[in-house]
Each structure stands twice: as C-alpha cells, then as structure tokens.
Structure 1
C-alpha cells in the first residue's frame, strides 16, 4: 500500500491526470493452464495464473484507500476491472471505466461496465476492426453513451517498428463518434517518442505503465515510464500544444511579412504620361506597398496618368483605363 501511494504521488507530481490500477483475482482472470505471452527473459513466470497469484492481494478496502489517496493527490483514481465483482465495488470510486485489450471480446464484462452509465475507455490491442466495432456496438446497446478507443499493440514490450501508430488515424476515421487515444508498451526513450507521435496524430488519451524503478523484476517495470520520463514528456507535450493549438491560422503574426515581403507591380523603366502600359514596362518587386501582382493583367493596357519613374511602385491613381479598355 505504501508503494502504491508513492506511485500515485510521483505520477501526480510529474503531471499525470489519473493513476490507474488493475483489479483482479487470479482464479477469476485465468485458468491454471494459461501460458505466458510476455518476454520470459524479463519475467520468468511461465503461467498467467501463477503470475496473477503473486499480485492479487488487494481487495475492495484497498482500492477504496487508493481512491482516497488519488483524491488527495489531485488525480483521478481508475482501476481496470477484470471480473464482474470488481465492476460493482469500483463503480462508486471512478469517473470512467477502462476495459483492457484482452477483454474487448468479453461481452458480459463490457455490458456490466456499460450498464453503469459511465464513460468507457476500451483498449484495442490484438483486435481487428470488426472486433472493435462489435465491442462498441455491444457497449452502446448496453447503455454506454460515451466510448473512447485506445490504439494498442499487445506486446510487452512493443518494438518501435511494431507500434503501428498510423492506426490512430484509422480509428479516428472509422469511429468518428469516439475519442481516440493510445495505450503504449514501447520501451521509453528520453522524451517517450511513441507518446509524442501519438499526441501529434491526434490521440486525446494517453496511457502508459508507471514505475518508480525500471530495474525491478516483473512483467511491466522494464517498459514503464518513471517520474523523470513523465516530466520530460509533459514538457514536450506542452510545447506541442502551443504549436498545434487550434485549426486554422491567424495572419496577425505575419502582417509585416505580408506588407514588406510580398511584391508590387513596379516600373521596369520610365513611363511617360499618356503611354499605354505594356508587359515589358513592368516587373514585380518587393515591398507590397503598391498594386499587387494579382492585378498584373488588369494593369497591362492601362494608360499612365502621370510620369512614372523607373523602379516606382505603381498605384491605382497613376493609371486609368484606355478607351479600348473601357469599350471592352
């Protein structure tokens, strides 16, 4: 419990918005014949059942205590339920339910979570688009009104070349009614490039394993982020949010460039009063203080109403239509 609270505090201090745990009992999540699917050189336990047995000591009272600690630390408490009983005791503690990738086909669990009326976040690791569509349909029919989907690759760890972050765009296109995010298992570099890329691709929810010591044994520590990683990532995320603050563009920041770096129609030689202007008399030069070159064809064929010196910027009061131009 002390370590769990420490992890909450470190995550909160580093800028996390939520601290998410997992609520399971070995006997309800895996049969005794359940092979490992992780890197056994990092976590040597050969059975899922035996691994879960090591870490399933928390019950309802402990999760309530963690929820209180999250509240005091200023972050949301979340815990992924892995059985129906967990949904019941977690419901009053959380603002949203998270469904793990491995349970995207678990119809009774999806229905139970959706039936609470709370928003759902579903990870999509190891899933096909039809399976994801089925899960969304199941949740919607069971009462879920707000569903978010997290792209995920269910490898621990996920090699960089297997991260397939382009799937974020696919999910945004196929499920426009859902918020799209990313659950990451790539071994972090200095600023967690995988999360940076996901953010720039439009992920609005980011999830990653968190530890206080990456060298600890187990299935998660070696590919988790720590407090330093999260601080570094949040600094980059803040920078990116400033760069990509909104769609559209304000030209107010470029007013000087529009005025001084764009071009005007300029006399390439002296033009005397009454001369009809031809193309060889003109050149486009900076600054944009005169007639814009977008009116190039309109200026050609006009008559000079004053003497125009070489390199003078043409203004509309220097020219007037010829009789031929008026007739046309």
Structure 2
C-alpha cells in the first residue's frame, strides 16, 4: 500500500495539494478545437490534469445498443456510428498532448477496452483511469496492471466486494481510488461522502472524489473530509449537445471550484493546536489570567 502516488510530476496523497482533474471525457464532441479550449479552462483554473475517454466502439458498445437510432448534431445515425463520430484518432490525441504540455497540465484517459489501453500506452500517458463502469472488467484491469503505470480507480455503481476484486487485480502500490456515485446529475442525498472514510480505512491508499453534482459544495466538502483528489466534468456550455454536458461545470464555476478547494486546503492546517499569529494582539488585549485559589483567599 502507498500513502502517496506520483502521477506525472505531481504527488497525490495526504498533506499534498488536492489533485484536481478536469474531466473532459467526450464533451469535446469529436472536435479537437473544443478539447483545446477545455484544456485552457483547466489550466486557467489551476487544475493539475485533464482526462478524456478512449473507446474501441465495436468492442465497448453493448450489442443491444449498437443499432439503436440516435438523433445527433450530425444527423440521424446508429449509436455505434455516433460512438465512432466522437472518438479522437492518434494524431488528434498527439495534438492534444502537445497542447496540454504547453499549458502545464497532465493528460490521460479512461480506456474502455484492452485495445484502448494499448492505444494510450503508445501515447505514453502518465497514468490510467478506470471508469466506474469498468470496475468489473477484469480483463482490462489485468492489462492496466501490466503497464506498470499509476491507476486511478473510480468506484461508482460498485459494491465493496466488486471493488475488493478490482483492487486484488490492480494491486495497491500505485493505486488512487475515487469515491463516486454514478448518478447524473447527482442529488445531494446520494453523495454519501462518508464513504471516503470507509475506503480510506479498508484499502489504505489515497482516496479522492469524483463528482457529478450540479454545484460546488459537495466537492469542497469532500476535500474537507479528506479527499486528496477531485475530478469534475467540465464543459464550455451545459446546453451543448452530449450526454455528460448537463452534469458538467462551465468554465467560471470550475475556476471557482478550484479556488474554493485551495482555500479549504489552507484552512485545514496541520492539526496541531497552537496560538496563531493573528491571535497575539487580541490575546494581549482581551485575555485575563486569574488564579481561582488566590481569588478564593
């Protein structure tokens, strides 16, 4: 088990700056220009990383969904064709990687199948993210373990027994886990933030939070409860077409979120009770020292 995990140039763990991940996912709608704008938002906010999703659609798309007709901005098409339409190719990811590097943020992705793991390894990502939907995809988890890279594991829609099995496959030496509830958007009563402590006690690895709520408060509270990483979906406009846009943060709220997380980090302190510098003058002005024994005599 590891109390800290190094991802790129960042150390993720207790008493380190909260590792903030801007989840771009497929909110770029297959457009590299939009992806770059979202990277710019993440950099402006002070996030350390951006995350995408990588699929091999004919493998990762469920059989019963492939031929379902979907209305899209590009016309009517099957769900499988839509999945191909929003996928980015290798040269596009190379362009994204260069842009992220220029803006000083790390980038990686959630692979949804074994060929996507190989695709991302060819691009030399610093780590891999396991989406909540993939917790039970043991074949892919084996492939991820074999890369030797740090793994970030989301735990939404999963039982503790399913998470136990995933952790058994992945190991704990380079593992970061994210508490998550896979409801989009997430109502407060389903956030269950105390699971952060449950995961900390059970697995002994760095625990973060992946949120899908419409506001900022729950993510900030997660940091106060000990989350060492926060992942939130980001979009240029929540009215844009796409399944994740409505559960995403627009640029200004995302910037505000990172600001609030940094304030909470400073406010948490080191846990040592002491007189703070700002208390010295009020103490000199207001504090009385009395001896109850002397006063009684």
- Could you tell me the TM-score, scaled by structure 2's length? 0.78
Q: 1:3 to 1:80 in 2, by over 3 A?
A: same
Quote the residue 1:73 is aligned against: 103
Change (3 A) 1:12 1:102: same
Give the superposition deviation at 1:227: 1.6
Q: Deviations over 1:54-83 (max 9, x none)?
A: 422x12222122111110110001111111
Q: CA RMSD of the aligned region, Å?
A: 2.5
Distance 2:40 2:201 in 1: 37
* Cross-structure match for 2:92: 62
Distance apart, 1:47 and its partner CA: 8.3
Largest Rg, 1 or 2? 1
* Structure 1, unpaired ranges of 5+: 36-44, 269-280, 283-328
Q: Where does residue 288 of structure 2 map in the other structure?
A: 261
Gaps of 5+ in 2: 1-31, 67-75
Over 3 Å counting, the alpha-carbon distance change for 1:231 and 1:263 in structure 2 is farther
Deviations 1:93-149 (A, max 9, x none): 311110111111111111111111111100000111111111011112xxx621111
Distance in structure 1 (CA, Å) of the matches to 2:164 and 2:101: 34
Q: Residue 228 of structure 1: which of 252, 267, 282 is its match?
A: 252
2:163 maps to which of 121, 128, 132: 132
> What pairs up with 1:1-328 in 2 under 5 angstroms?
1-34=32-65, 49=80, 52-56=83-87, 58-91=88-121, 92-140=123-171, 145-176=173-204, 178-188=205-215, 192-251=216-275, 253=277, 257=283, 260-265=287-292, 267-268=294-295, 281-282=296-297
- Match for residue 311 of structure 1? none
Q: Distance in 2 between matches of 1:47 and 1:209?
A: 25
Three-state SS of the structure 2 residue aligned to 1:8 is helix
SS of residue matched to 1:115: helix
User: Does the aligned pair in 2 maintain the 1:32–1:49 contact within 8 Å?
Assistant: no
Higher RCO (Cα < 8 Å, 6 or more apart): 2
Q: CA, structure 1 residues 201+215, in 2 after alignment: closer, same or farther (shift >3 Å)?
A: same
Normalized per residue, the structure richer in strand is 2
Decide whether aligned partners of structure 1 residues 48 and 102 sit closer, same or farther in structure 2, where only a CA change above 3 A counts: farther
- Following TM superposition, by how much is the alpha carbon of 1:50 offset from its aligned partner in structure 2, in angstroms? 6.0
